[in-house]
Chain A
Amino acid sequence: MTQTQRSKRFELLAKRDINKETYVEPWPEAGLIVADSPYDPQPSLSITAGTVVEMDGVAQADFDALDRFIVSHALDLAVADEAMAIPSQEYARMLADINVPREAIARLIAGCTPAKLTDIMRHLNVLEMMMGLTKMRIRRQPANQAHVTNWREHPALLAADAAEAALRGFAEVETTVRVARFAPLNALAILVGAQTGRGGVLTQCSVEEALGLRLAMKGLTSYAETLSVYGTERTFVDGDDTPWSKAFLASAYASRGVKIRFTSGTGSEALMGRAEKKSMLYLEARCLLVVKGAGSQGVQNGSISCIALPEALPGGVRAVLAENLLAAMLGLEVAAGNDALASHSSIRKTAKLMLQFIPGADFIFSGYSAIPKRDNLFGGGNFDAEDFDDYNTLQRDMQIDGGVQPISEDEALNIRQMAARAIQAVYRELDLPPITDEEVEAATVAHSSDDMPERDIVPDLEAADAFMASDRDFVAVIQALQVSGFADVADNILEMGRQRIAADYLQPSAIFDADFKVRSAINDANDYTGPGSGYRPAGQRWAAMQGIPQAKSPEGFVQPHSGAPLSRLVEIGPASKGLQKEVLLAVGPAFGRGLTTTIGGLAHEDVLKAILSGIAGEGMIARILRVYHSSDCAAIGYVGARLSGSGIGIGLQSRGTAVIHQKDLAPLNNLELFPQSPSLTLATYEAIGRNAARYALGLATVPVAVKIDNGARLRLIVKTALLHRRETDEVDPDKRPQALRFDWEPDL
């Protein structure tokens, strides 16, 4: 084909969002392959006298640091021989089989090598993986995590957004920094904000490892998740850690009563140029065994910040689900990704989300951007604050608990203002640079940083340094809240302190529920074993998910169409068969009585006048009758046609739908049908009258042109159904059609 011609369709397709993406063909040698690299090892394991002497084709002497860590800390050697002997396909079938419980699979998976884990995934399609994730997820009830940042790093806005996120139901709120020195103040703002929104929301500030630990020691954060691990030794070292240093960090956090999860995810090794020709999924399996061996209760994976790389490759989205599933199989809490920008296309990003949303994950997002994209300092915002209503609707559509719930505008404004005032009070009591009332008010109503006044960051940074250097910690924060009238927020932060002492939330997949009670894989273990088991939203939770503020009561749809009955339209007795040339206009049972305007808002009286004017304009006589035995448009029109002296009738429902009928046609046939009543104008109704008259006169007639609006049904189907129901309420099956007198003469 020569390129002198361009297809208009291909030209249009080229401009679609999906074609803003980058796609690349696989290149195993560079690690640009999501799964099944020809260089991936075959699964194998040899144990001699309790020591692993060979794993996945590598002899003990050649083990790298990761292999050594995995064999000494991750693999359950007691079950390994049994586990490795079972064919990979058999595991795949167990994962998809509701009759095999989670515990039975988990026991065996504990003895599987990285190559074995990868090989199992080879046999599963995404639907089977979703079944697997539904069953293997360790906590019964799914939850969600929010990202709260803003490019101004404004404390009042951080607090307000954290409070709103908490109220919306996010179980964890994560912030980070643009300028690293801001870390203590950002952590403080979301701590105060989140505990204002709902007591028990876990908060963290993603920063360099040592700084993160300092924040936790000060009680400014209650969890940490950016303990990154990598699937090759060189990448690990480039990340400035080893499995042992990361594991020590995990213990250090736990020693201060702080929850942690590690971070891994496909693509990082290829991005850092050290994939060693291995597939992304195989390297992720190695990561996950390091995570498990280090004693982390969980992991955030699902490619995270590298997501666009697997999505550029064939099978990338499937591989990301596979890594989520592998983590769950290993007994790890999974924060499943969906955070960084993965696609320009709404269709593609939503389709990808469904792979975690439908089966449910411990955290469906490892950061739903509860702020607009441009305020997201994680490079995130695949779903953001502007998608809140979409996301709530997805939950409502599928009866799937996505971990959040709708809130009203008033609730949002109240909680945002309270949080902004609370952080204002804390700043005042701790001698931090003042937050003005103007800043509080701006944060209350703000959507983004753009809505906030300028703030001098130099004194803020100096205050952050001083706070970090001092021995002040969250005890001072609680005292500040106590003396400034925020007793509830103070109590919530104090209770977070008591929970550190109890350490229940160090158990796998722990969150705090709406009653500030811990919920983890210990006391809320996933018990899915097929239909009728496991978690599904019901009762109050399902009611909260349904209750979007946009939902209206059914009465509200009909009420605007019910006015005073038409005084000029009077029943004068049973309708008889006409003997003259005429058009008979048959209206529905509620016309001009229970209902007085059409769905398009036209007064019934005006519609009558328009049709009658059209009929009279062709010199034809009209009669009107009301049908009682049916509310169906065709049936109403058919009665009109059969009783009409000319055999031509018009049927008109109260909502405005019209038909021109002829007595010799089958009841459901017609001469002209006008189903899109919202599009009909008075001019259309007049044209309908005119055409009916011309059919009665036997004249050649051009059908009435009607605007096609395919969106009308989408917008108005609920109202259509309810107006029709109102009309049907007036049906009396035994009552004959009644003749009507309309006290009006056309102006000719």
Chain B
Amino acid sequence: MSDYPLREKAADALLTHSGRPLCEVSGEALAAGKLRGADLRVHADTLRQQAGIASDGGYPQLAANLLRAAELTNVPNEEMLKIYESLRPERASYDELQRLADYLERNYSAKENAAFIREAAAVYRERNLLRR
């Protein structure tokens, strides 16, 4: 928690999603066309660090959310929107949700999200929230 806020106390160690040090995110670089959207996105490690800060601060559920978020940093935008759509009520079958969980775990090492989706699939089956 002593490192919080990271922007002020640990800026030198921060990386962008694309792996560049934060100090390279400058107005000059941007004006010169050297920065893209991915250079202005959060890195998974930073989210894990923030999860630790949240946990130490007494916010375990937020911490769990940030750990799931860390796993999703590599998931492309369109894929993310599709996963969300699948989790909405009556969109997916039990097997489709299982396959989605397997896919996330295999391709993005998204263990937490996979477990979360498997849990949802079980509840959806019992509560009649799967596609009919």
Q: Which residues of A contact B (CB under 8 A)?
A: 64-65, 68-69, 72-74, 76, 103, 106, 209-210, 213-214, 217-219, 233, 236-237, 240-242, 244-245, 247-257, 292-297, 331, 471, 473-475, 478-479, 482-483, 487, 490-491, 494, 497-504, 506-508, 517-518, 521-523, 525
Contact = CB atoms under 8 A, between A and B. Distances in A.
B83 A504 contact: no
A369 to B, nearest CB: 30
Contacts of A218: 37
B27 A501 contact: no
Given A501-B14, A501-B43, A523-B5, A255 B80 contact: yes
B61 A498 contact: no
B87 A502 contact: no
B48 to A, nearest CB: 10
B11 A295 contact: no
A72 B11 CA distance: 36
Contacts of A483: 31
A741 B30 CA distance: 84
Interface string B1-43: 1001111100100111100001001010011010111001111
Give the most central of B22, B33, B37, B81: most A CB within 10 Å.
Answer: B37
Contact of A296 (B22, B41, B65): B65
Contacts of A233: 127
B114 to A, nearest CB: 12
Contacts of B4: 504, 507, 522-523
Question: Which 7 A-B pairs give the minimum distances between C-beta atoms?
Answer: A295-B65, A254-B69, A244-B120, A255-B72, A245-B87, A502-B7, A257-B42
Contacts of A69: 123
Contact of B85 (A210, A214, A219, A490): A210
Contacts of B124: 65, 242, 244
17 contacts: A210-B81, A244-B87, A244-B124, A247-B68, A251-B66, A251-B69, A255-B47, A257-B42, A474-B37, A498-B25, A501-B41, A502-B5, A503-B6, A521-B57, A522-B4, A522-B57, A523-B4
A490 B68 CA distance: 32
Given A502-B6, A518-B5, A522-B57, A242 B42 contact: no
B93 interface: no
A295 B64 contact: yes
B11 A502 contact: yes
B25 A494 contact: yes
A508 B62 contact: yes
A523 B3 CA distance: 10
Give the most central of B1, B15, B59, B77: most A CB within 10 Å.
Answer: B59
Given A293-B61, A295-B62, A478 B87 contact: no
Contacts of B69: 250-255
Contacts of B57: 507-508, 521-522, 525
Given A65-B124, A522-B54, 9 more contacts: A241-B89, A247-B68, A250-B65, A251-B65, A501-B46, A502-B7, A504-B5, A506-B47, A522-B1
Given A68-B123, A255-B73, A503 B81 contact: no
Contact of B7 (A242, A253, A471, A518): A518
Contacts of B31: 479, 482-483
B54 A507 contact: yes
Contacts of A331: 58-59
B61 A248 contact: no
Give the most central of B17, B33, B60, B123: most A CB within 10 Å.
Answer: B123
Contacts of A523: 4-5
B26 to A, nearest CB: 8
A682 to B, nearest CB: 69
Contacts of A475: 30, 35-37, 40
Contacts of A257: 41-42
Given A250-B65, A491-B27, A502-B46, A65 B123 contact: yes
Nearest to B10: A502
Nearest to B1: A522
A482 B75 contact: no
Contacts of B83: 248, 252
Interface string B93-104: 000000000000
Given A68-B123, A522-B57, A219 B40 contact: yes
Nearest to B66: A254
B86 to A, nearest CB: 8
A244 B116 contact: yes
Contact of B50 (A292, A294, A503): A503
A148 B73 CA distance: 31
Interface string B101-125: 0000000000001001101100110
Given A241-B88, A295-B66, A479-B31, A503 B61 contact: no
B89 A240 contact: yes
A65 B87 CA distance: 13
A254 B61 contact: no
Contact of B42 (A103, A487, A500): A500
Given A106-B58, A517-B8, A251 B117 contact: no
Contacts of B36: 475
Contacts of A68: 123, 127
Given A237-B129, A482-B27, A522-B1, A501 B40 contact: yes
Contacts of A250: 65, 69
B61 to A, nearest CB: 4
A252 B88 CA distance: 14
Contacts of A506: 47, 50, 62, 66
A261 to B, nearest CB: 11
B63 to A, nearest CB: 8
B7 to A, nearest CB: 4
A252 B80 contact: yes
A331 B27 CA distance: 38
Nearest to A257: B42
A286 to B, nearest CB: 15
Contacts of B14: 501-502
B42 to A, nearest CB: 4
Nearest to A76: B60
B38 to A, nearest CB: 10
Given A251-B113, A504-B50, A244 B42 contact: no
B62 A213 contact: no
Nearest to B82: A210
Given A242-B89, A254-B69, A295-B61, A498 B84 contact: no
B25 A74 contact: no
